[in-house]
């Protein structure tokens, strides 16, 4: 569900949204945008610093402050350098998503508010999925701890097939266990007994 919402939202932002959209790395370099932004800005901005888009800022420090947790999701009027050379004010929202940062700008405050609600809903759903995944991982780790396996070289009697307990004196007969007892003690496996056809013929030959 979250993946479908995420894909649909990104498609809308890239091709159809009529507001500014910027995808940034942690150094505030622009690594992605949408068609509306490219047309509005009117120049190649991929690889440029985010602050170069604005009239208001000359350094990255001022821009970085808008991605703080206290300001995330708020609306801030900033002046953008337009394609026609005239500055224009847009309301901006800023989100720090961990590895990347996202900024939206629009002259219509209501449209931006609707987008804000969509992002909050998506983040809430992703948070729920993350918690569910963490729960499943804990359950899996617990199950794996219960799995007991045999590995390495087993000291096996060549005649009776008993297995010697690790580190025990091979001359002590009590240190040799029947194979099924040894395996049951080391794993969660259990044995049932029967007689194979070859042994059945030896043990109980037909008259």
Q: Which residues contact 196 (CB under 8 A, 6 or more apart)?
A: none
**pLDDT value for 141:** 79
Q: Which domain holds residue 164?
A: 151-191
Do both 10 and 41 map to the same domain? Answer: yes
Do both 103 and 46 map to the same domain? Answer: yes
In-domain check, residue 198: no
pLDDT digits (tens, 9 = 90+) for 160-184: 888 888 888 888 898 898 888 888 8
In-domain check, residue 12: yes
Do both 20 and 61 map to the same domain? Answer: yes
Instruction: Give the span between the Cα atoms of 164 and 172, in whole angstroms.
Output: 9
Do both 124 and 160 map to the same domain? Answer: no
Q: Angle at which helices 109-146 and 2-11 pack, to 10 degrees?
A: 150
In-domain check, residue 169: yes
Do both 66 and 33 map to the same domain? Answer: yes
Instruction: Give the span between the Cα atoms of 39 and 93, in whole angstroms.
Output: 20
**pLDDT value for 3:** 47
Do both 84 and 161 map to the same domain? Answer: no
Do both 109 and 179 map to the same domain? Answer: no
Do both 127 and 165 map to the same domain? Answer: no
**pLDDT value for 31:** 93
**pLDDT value for 1:** 39
Do both 76 and 178 map to the same domain? Answer: no
Do both 58 and 134 map to the same domain? Answer: yes
Count of domains forming the chain:
2
In-domain check, residue 206: no
In-domain check, residue 162: yes
Do both 169 and 112 map to the same domain? Answer: no
Q: Which residues of the chain have pLDDT under 50?
A: 1-5
Do both 134 and 175 map to the same domain? Answer: no
Q: What is the pTM of this model?
A: 0.49
In-domain check, residue 204: no
In-domain check, residue 200: no
């Amino acid at each position: 569900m979250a993946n479908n919402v995420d894909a649909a939202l990104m498609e809308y932002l890239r091709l159809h949204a009529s507001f500014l959209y910027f995808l940034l790395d942690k150094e505030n370099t622009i690594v992605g945008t949408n068609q509306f932004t490219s047309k509005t800005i009117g120049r190649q901005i991929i690889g440029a610093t985010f602050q170069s888009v604005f009239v208001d800022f000359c350094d990255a420090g001022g821009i970085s402050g808008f991605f703080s947790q206290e300001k995330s999701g708020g609306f801030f009027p900033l002046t953008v350098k337009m394609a026609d050379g005239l500055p224009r004010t847009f309301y901006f929202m800023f989100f720090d998503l961990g590895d990347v940062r996202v900024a939206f700008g629009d002259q219509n405050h209501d449209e931006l508010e609707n987008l804000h609600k969509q992002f909050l809903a998506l983040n809430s759903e992703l948070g729920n999925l993350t918690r569910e995944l963490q729960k499943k991982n804990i359950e899996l780790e617990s199950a794996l701890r219960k799995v007991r396996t045999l590995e390495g070289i087993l000291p096996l009697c060549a005649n009776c097939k008993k297995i010697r307990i690790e580190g025990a004196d091979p001359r002590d007969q009590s240190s040799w266990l029947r194979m099924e007892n040894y395996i049951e003690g080391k794993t969660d496996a259990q044995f049932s007994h029967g007689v194979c056809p070859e042994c059945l013929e030896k043990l109980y030959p037909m008259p």
